[in-house]
Amino acid sequence: MSHSLTQSLTTPLMGAIHRPDSDRPLPLEPVTCCVCGSDDAEPLAVGEDFEYRTSPDTFLAVQCRCCGLVYLNPRPAMTTLDRIYPLDYHAFDFSAERYGLIYRVRQRLEAKRLLSACQRLGPGARLLDVGCGDGFHLKLLRQFGRSDWQLEGVDMSDRAVALGRQQGLKLHQGTIQAVDLPAHQYDLAFMIATLEHVDDPAEVIQAVRRLLKPGGELVIVTDNTDTWDFRLFGHRHWGGYHFPRHWNLFNANTVGRLAMETDLEVVKIQTIVSPVNWVYSIHNYLVDWNAASWLVKQFSLESTLSLGFFTLFDQVFQAFGHGALLRVTLRRPFEN
């Protein structure tokens, strides 16, 4: 169900898409903190599906008073995934032609980032992208990485998987807990813009852990709540909420705790630059205030100008350790 790091590279034109069930409320379920189990949480923000308008619901983001995790509570039931990830969802609807220059720039940037995680991989290494969508990152690895690497991906969406397979990628359809993959075989796994979407992050990480060789690494990239965009927009419009699709949102602290719970060693926690949450925060703000659509469009991910500007802008924050995304490298310990 997840999408790629090129998160939200498109948004449907406002009002252009007709959803026959968009006025039917979703079944919502109460949850507790997936990191520490507490249900003691401070309400932070009420939001709506500002981007896709898949339902008439309002959603509550809360912050765990025990560990600081930000999560959606109540959140849509698992049976609603088909609705909250509509067919025009950007992760399913991605092509080079449509985005031209931005696509190519981001591609380069992503490739560089991905490869920096692969430095210690030897020949024939096995890599797995969990929540790979249609295989955006795998294609980059194929293009820019070593030719003898064995690349595989897992995603829940059968459409995305079918698309990726057409391009010759080895993709498995299903959840990481359910797919039948060999234990202790993989050198490196990626979870890029995936963790925030899954219902049970600890269970998913454990499933990935099982597949890793001892000493194998898991690289997680996810939205960072320890940022200025969160502080500024966290009362409603923050892009990282991505209402109602981001169920758990982390900072260095909570992701570290999750690693501990799942018996993985923290190799490194860094933040990286991304303009996406800045641009989307402003986008949501404008949508919520019924701004003119020409203005809203200046803050979409099709706008080179705002993406460029906020990439530079976020660089300043990243320099102080508060970049928009968290990048966490975890390792499966050797003993056990």
Partner 1 sequence: MSPTKPIAIIGGGPAGLTAAAFLQRHKVPFVLYEAGPKVAGLATSFHDDDGFTYDFGAHFINNRLAAALGVGAQCRTVKYYGESVHLNGKSYGYPLGLLQSPRYVLSGISSRLNPRIHKRQFRSAATWFRASYGSALANEVALPLLEAWSGVPAAELSAAVGSEKLQNSIAQTLKFRNIGRMTGRAVACGYSHEIPENSHMWHVYPDGGVGLLCRKIAEGLESQIRLSSPVEAVWVDNNQVQAVQVNGQELPVSGVISTAPCHILSRMMRGTDRLAALAQFRYRPMMFINLRLKGRGLLKDTVVWLPGKDFTTFRVTETPISMPWLAPVGKTLITVDIGCEKGDDLWSMDDEALGESCLKDLEPLIPDIRQRYQGCRVLRASCAYPVYLNTYEDVRQRWRQTTGVEGLYTVGRNGEFSHALMEDVYWRTQRKLRGILPSNRVMSESPGATPV
Q: Site residues (CB under 8 A) for partner 1?
A: 25-26, 28, 30, 32, 34, 36-40, 42-43, 45-46, 55-60, 73-74, 183, 200, 202-203, 206, 209-210, 235-236, 261-263, 288-289, 336
Complex with Zn ion: residue 63 or 274, whichever CB lies closer: 63
CB 150 within 8 A of CB 213: no
Looking only at the bridges linking them, the beta strands covering 28-29 and 75-76 are: antiparallel
Give the shortest CB-231-to-partner 1 separation in angstroms.
Answer: 13
Looking only at the bridges linking them, the beta strands covering 186-192 and 171-173 are: unpaired
Closest of 198, 70, 79 to residue 130, by C-alpha: 198
Interface with Zn ion by CB under 5 A: which residues? 33, 35-36, 38, 64, 66-67, 69
Give the shortest CB-1-to-partner 1 separation in angstroms.
Answer: 20
13 to each of 245, 290, 296, how far by Cα in Å? 19, 14, 10
Q: Which of partner 1, Zn ion, none lies near 178, with the C-beta cut-off 5 to 8 A by kind?
A: none
Q: Which of partner 1, Zn ion, none lies near 57, with the C-beta cut-off 5 to 8 A by kind?
A: partner 1
Place of tokens 């996406």: 276
Give the shortest CB-206-to-partner 1 separation in angstroms.
Answer: 7
CB 127 within 8 A of CB 192: no
**If 0-12 CB within 10 Å is exposed, 13-18 middle and 19+ buried, where does residue 165 land?**
middle
DSSP state of 92: G
Give the shortest CB-330-to-partner 1 separation in angstroms.
Answer: 13
Q: Which of partner 1, Zn ion, none lies near 13, with the C-beta cut-off 5 to 8 A by kind?
A: none
Complex with partner 1: residue 119 or 290, whichever CB lies closer: 290
Concatenating the DSSP letter of every residue in 36-77 gives T----EEEEEEE--TTT---S--EEEEEETTT--EEESSEE-
Complex with partner 1: residue 261 or 302, whichever CB lies closer: 261
Place of tokens 């630059």: 273
Residue 327: strand pairing partners? 221, 270
Q: Which of partner 1, Zn ion, none lies near 69, with the C-beta cut-off 5 to 8 A by kind?
A: Zn ion
Complex with Zn ion: residue 40 or 288, whichever CB lies closer: 40
Give the shortest CB-34-to-Zn ion separation in angstroms.
Answer: 8
Q: Which of partner 1, Zn ion, none lies near 330, with the C-beta cut-off 5 to 8 A by kind?
A: none
Give the shortest CB-38-to-partner 1 separation in angstroms.
Answer: 7
Say if residue 27 is preceded by a cis peptide, omega within 30 of 0: no
24 to each of 46, 53, 76, 219, 242, how far by Cα in Å? 19, 11, 13, 38, 19
Complex with partner 1: residue 39 or 302, whichever CB lies closer: 39
Structure tokens at 193: 């813009």
Complex with Zn ion: residue 35 or 325, whichever CB lies closer: 35
Q: Which of Zn ion, partner 1, none lies near 43, with the C-beta cut-off 5 to 8 A by kind?
A: partner 1
Complex with partner 1: residue 58 or 270, whichever CB lies closer: 58
Give the shortest CB-66-to-Zn ion separation in angstroms.
Answer: 4
Q: Which of Zn ion, partner 1, none lies near 263, with the C-beta cut-off 5 to 8 A by kind?
A: partner 1
